Amino acid sequence: MARIDFMGTGNAFAPKGRLNACLCIDRSILVDSPPTVMPQLRSIGLDASDINHLLITHWHGDHTFGIPFFFLDRKYISDRSNKSMLRIYLRPGGESILTNLCDIGFPGDLADYARNQFVWVTQEEQTLGNTSWNFIRFPVHHTPETDPHGYELTHKSGFRFLHCGDSGPCDEIENRASTADVILLEMGMPDIGDFPHHHRPSDVTSFSERHRDKVILVTHNFASGANVDSGFRKPILPSNVHQLEDGDYLLIGEDGSFKIMRD
């Protein structure tokens, strides 16, 4: 049985009751690394060295500024003997951005470690070694300077998970939705204006109406978490849309069946 843990479900502002959006697959695949990635990993009983694959969707700080702390933990705490393998999946040119980020965070301490210790993978399609997953990376509609992408992740059972990264409505998501079992959309902004680089509740509703037979999960939520009485309230969305909370997880059976779980 496979498992996807949603360790954070908030947008860049981390609304009350939510940490920045981040997920972990089968306790070894990390998608994005927000500033709070270390307490998020610890919340599900993991160390940085337990992660063997790091997938990056784009370069905004709420998705990447935890990387220096993630590397710092591996170097000095959880993998001091350098025995734990880590493959980092990013677009061409991403290695320079990431190592510069490490050098800004901890000058002279992490950049060379990152360059020499890890395997850097830039292919757009890849099998995630020693796991039951492979991916196809695809461009999405977000701030262009951040090189935004999503990941179509396929489990050996045939289950297909469409992780749309941070993105407003776009043809790539629409075209891939028909073959996905579960679609993860961000909903970073409320319906208070035009935000083409994000999904708003009205955009999620429209998407769900075009894909009524699909299960849609919402993360990167602008609204406060469950049982929080202040801030933006969660919008009412169609029945095939589930607004995730921090700590929710998805279980996938060997036959490709799945269910959303909440502790």
Give the three-state DSSP class for 245. coil
Number of domains within the chain: 1
Mean pLDDT (whole number) for 208-224: 98
pLDDT at 263: 77
Burial class of residue 141 (count of CB atoms within 10 Å of its CB; 0-12, 13-18, 19+): buried
| Apex 89 CA angle, 116 and 258, nearest 5 | 135
H-type alpha helices, 131-236: 171-177, 201-210
DSSP secondary structure, 178-198, as one string: TT-SEEEEE--S-SSS--TTS
Confidence of residue 40 (pLDDT cuts 50, 70, 90): very high
Q: 243, 234 in Cβ contact below 8 A?
A: yes
In residues, how long is the chain? 263
Cα atoms found within 13 Å of the Cα of residue 71, Cβ hemisphere only? 23
Mean pLDDT (whole number) for 152-181: 98
CATH number, domain with residue 251: 3.60.15.10
What pLDDT, in 10s, does the model give residues 108-124? 999 999 999 999 999 99
- By residue range, what is the domain housing residue 101? 2-261
What pLDDT, in 10s, does the model give residues 44-100? 999 999 999 999 999 999 999 999 999 999 999 999 999 999 999 999 999 999 999
What pLDDT, in 10s, does the model give residues 171-186? 999 999 999 999 999 9
Provide the token pair at 74.
């591996």
For the whole model, what pTM was predicted? 0.97
Mean pLDDT of the chain: 97
